[in-house]
Amino acid sequence: MPRGEEPGVWAVIERQTGRFLGWVALPVEAGAGRLGYRFFRAFWGHGYATEAARAVMADAFERLGAASVAADTMTVNLASRRLMERLGMRYARTFFADFPEALPGSEKGDVEYVLTREAWQALRAERLSFVRATPADAARLAAHERRVADPRLYGPPLDHDACAREIAHNVFYFVEVDGALVATAAWKRREDGSAYLSNIAVHPDFRRCGVGRAAALFLLAEAKGCARVDLVTHPDNAAAMALYGSLGFAVESRKEDHFGDGEPRVVMVKCDRGVT
């Protein structure tokens, strides 16, 4: 059991009450992650472990660069095995650990489940639908803008008319999961043949689970063949900077008060067209 001082260990706190529910751990060494978790019995069966595990797995794959994540449990612990399967992990092996004290069911051994980066990316993308927006969808976009807006990092939310113009002037997509709007993604081709990724905005409830990466890869696929692909983001938006950097973008320049909101922005250019 972790003591809480090791890297990759997180306390799980209930948002509404501040109660400590348990812990989840996912340290990554040499590209390999190892998932662990433990919750108070009173909080079993409420989806907390699934939500926490998905968050740390996204962090391991996106920020820490894990190539795979593994987890193990007793063969007879069916609830834990179902959780691993819900996370997309697949059975890898059965093994017999040498514990000092035998537990009921330990004679049947332990099982290990594994999820690779490639499988995780596929899982994140397979439920996503990219639906082309029209100016008639301005009200839907405006509602999304209010949910995702951060006045400092993203600027103020666009109003209805600005949303209609944004859709009209870009190749604009709603990113949906089972019909629910979870993100927006947009780009446009300039007259000189370069491409500008003008919008990737993910709903807060769907951040850190691969949606932003899937949206960026979708736009890059559409912009294939453009000699230059660039975008603008806030230098303090660490998640965006890390995502774009992992996709081959590099900072070209910094502009103060770029959008007239008093905040700086950096221009990032994709410098390696082979990165996907």
Q: Which pLDDT value is given to residue 1?
A: 45
Do residues 171 and 189 share a domain?
A: yes
In a domain, 276, yes or no: no
pLDDT of residue 46: 83
* pLDDT per position as a tens digit, 110-147: 999 999 887 787 667 667 889 999 999 999 999 999 98
Assess whether 133 and 260 both reside in one domain: yes
- Show which of 93, 123, 153 is a domain's final residue: 123
Domain assignment present for residue 57? The answer is: yes
Q: Are residues 71 and 28 in the same domain?
A: yes
Pick out the chain residues at pLDDT < 70: 1-6, 122-123, 125-126, 178, 271-276
Based on the fold, state whether residues 86 and 131 are members of the same structural domain: no
pLDDT for the residue 156: 82
State whether 208 and 82 are in the same domain.
Answer: no
Host domain of residue 131: 127-270
Q: Are residues 266 and 131 in the same domain?
A: yes
Domain check: are 139 and 119 in the same one?
A: no
Which residue among 123, 148, 173 closes a domain? 123
Residue 30 lies in a domain: yes
Verify that 119 and 131 share a domain, yes or no: no
User: Is residue 195 assigned to a domain?
Assistant: yes
Cα–Cα distance for residue pair 108/110, rounded to 1 Å = 7
Q: Please report, for the domain that includes residue 136, its CATH number.
A: 3.40.630.30
Domain total of the chain: 2
Does 78 fall in a domain?
yes
What pLDDT score does 20 carry?
95
| Assessment of whether the complete model's pTM goes beyond 0.75 | no
User: Are both 28 and 134 inside the same structural domain?
Assistant: no
Residues 37 and 53 in one domain: yes
Structural domain ending residue among the three candidates 123, 148, 171: 123
Are residues 112 and 198 both part of a single domain? no
Map the chain to HEC letters: CCCCCCCCEEEEECCCCCCEEEEEECCEECCEEECEEEECHHHCCCCHHHHHHHHHHHHHHHCCCCCEEEEEEECCCHHHHHHHHHCCCEEEEEECCCCCCCCCCHHHCEEEEEEEHHHHHHHHHHCEEEEECCHHHHHHHHHHHHHHCECCCCECCCCHHHHHHHHHCCEEEEEEECCEEEEEEEEEECCCCCEEEEEEEECHHHCCCCHHHHHHHHHHHHCCCCCCEEEEECCCCHHHHHHHHHCCEEEEEEECCCCCCCCCEEEEEECCCCCC
